[in-house]
Structure 1
């Protein structure tokens, strides 16, 4: 697919696909982001997309999968924050905003370590995926998780289950 063909393809399908993904997600902003990301990926492989083979199907499936993946990640993160908030409230013996102590504690960590700890504990990603997303080795992820737990322990107090050592 040439650049001109891709431009025409984008002009023809970006709007309708956004509407289709919006119907799946119920969130216009998320649909727009997913469709844009799908078209960026299509641009990177435009030499493999054949106008005769309905490339809009590939982009539609990619956009839908991106939206669903983001939704799942967001849901897992919300569940993790809610779980942490319930544990923190119970440990404190009364109501407190869920996640505030964890957010403050995380800010004390170096940026890379904070990212690794958040991806593993908050987003509930496996060690291998954390390594892939951060561009470091699995061993480095495990080291950063261990150091992060050690640094956060005194800040979070004795709250069982907050930073449990799950397959790290």
Structure 2
């Protein structure tokens, strides 16, 4: 007489063998439990679906369990608990973040941005790096790969173009 080993807990005779039957018999009940736990119907259905997908991958083994629905329920509850932890962590993180209200740009900043947009790219980059980033001519030359004389030329031409722009518009902040 040979003794057959089972891969899981013994299976009861009443449990469905076909995964589709098993799914139809247990999906709603598990989804309702998760809905009560999570308070979000769509999330409960998604997590229940994920638990059944994981069960399907191992169905040959799990179908031999005494209560395969216990496996699905455990997986679903673990997924729901993980989801709640992630949400709680996100909420705590956001609560620690301070919302900083920054006023919009002043009219002179808007005018400068418009004026810079009229310059060729090399002149605009040189002006921004020199006057806003406070880099020296040598540092700009090194960063752009251009000779220092070329950088000085870009700066000179850019400043002249900006002066002309503000003279044409009628004021320093660009408003006519």
Q: TM-score range by the shorter chain?
A: 0.3 to 0.5
TM-score (norm 1): 0.48
Higher helix share: 1
Q: Between Structure 1 and Structure 2, whose CA radius of gyration is higher?
A: 2
TM-score (norm 2): 0.46
